[in-house]
Amino acid sequence: MIALLHVLISAPATLGAQAEPPPSWRALFNGQDLEGWTPKVRSFPVGEDPLRTFRVEDGLLTVGYDEYEAFGERFGHLFFETPFSDYDLRVEYRFVGEQVSDGPGWAVRNSGVMIHSQSPESMGLEQDFPISIEVQLLGGAGDDVRPTANLCTPGTHVRMDGQLVEQHCVESASPTFHGSEWVEVDIVVRGGRAIAHVVQGDTVLAYAAPEIGGGVVSGFEPSAKVDGRPLTSGWIALQSESHPVQFRRVWIREIGMR
């Protein structure tokens, strides 16, 4: 499965510097504003982001905390307006600045892309993370080993080599990226059949058969968490976990558009 998915995504892997997506791809982030995106920040209703966690600065989709005195566990997610099933997703991200006061220690240089997520409207007011598959984005501190494009599973499980994986996070085989360099991550999603994470053109993790299950998510509406339900589609969201991060590309290629 890893080799097949690597072939599917590797062809456009050197196009990160382009201002416009290549043919058959489209930009979900337009580089100007957050048209098409909806925030859901813990303790606030859907669509409300009074501390401007998510905004556009110098053409970059920015997750920042300038107006926070302290993080206060206000985990947030910025959702694109429509769900997707079979697609390739490309993000280019970098970590910048310092973590906001009282952010959890594990969230330093930590963000993520949520796929196959529940909708923002179905989340509870105090829900911390959407039920979803998380492609975890991590940055190193200068001399540590901290791979990126890992797998985390808030309220979900996956299968690897045919076996159910119930641990919350699984590390990828990616290198560690220190500083504020741009990192390109591709996410290959084939409905509920197979998913792979690709970093700078190299496949670093692959798994299959995502489903709802397990814990590591709180404040959810019970009707949204039906354990054992297969995840074959869902929303895409960018995460706010207390460390500033910027995105300059969020591109998608839907398989039906090829």
What is residue 19's predicted lDDT score, i.e. its pLDDT?
A: 67
Q: Please, what is the average pLDDT of the chain?
A: 92
Distance between CA atoms of residues 78 and 57, nearest Å: 16
Q: Span 90-108, mean pLDDT?
A: 97
- pLDDT > 70? residue 16: no
> CATH number of the domain that 176 lies in?
2.60.120.560
pTM of the shown model: 0.93
Between 19 and 84, whose confidence is greater?
84
Are the C-beta atoms of 25 and 250 separated by less than 8 Å?
A: no
pLDDT surpasses 50 at 69: yes
d(CA 112, CA 217): 15
> Do the domain assignments include residue 68?
yes
What single letter denotes the amino acid at residue 33? Answer: D
80 pLDDT exceeds 90?
Answer: yes
**Is residue 95 one of the residues assigned to a domain?**
yes
In a domain, 6, yes or no: yes
Instruction: State the pLDDT at residue 10.
Output: 44
Q: Could you report the per-residue pLDDT of 105-141, keeping only the tens digit for each?
A: 999 999 999 999 999 999 999 999 999 999 999 999 8
Q: How far is CA 168 from CA 136, 208, 240, in A?
A: 11, 15, 18
What is the C-alpha radius of gyration for the chain, rounded to an integer number of angstroms?
17
Does residue 21 form part of some domain?
no
Which domain range does residue 127 map to?
Answer: 2-12+26-257
- 17 lies in a domain? no
pLDDT at 215: 85
Name the domain count of the chain: 1
Residue 12's pLDDT band (cuts 50, 70, 90): very low
In 3D space, the residue among 83, 90, 134, 94 whose CA is nearest the CA of residue 113 turns out to be: 134
pLDDT at 216: 86
Whether residue 20 lies inside any domain: the answer is no
* Residue 142, in any domain of the structure: yes
Write the pLDDT tens digit of every residue in 24-62. Answer: 999 999 999 999 999 999 999 999 999 999 999 999 999
What tokens does 54 get?
Answer: 């998510």
Q: What is the pLDDT of residues 164-210, one digit of tens each?
A: 999 999 999 999 999 999 999 999 999 999 999 999 999 999 999 99
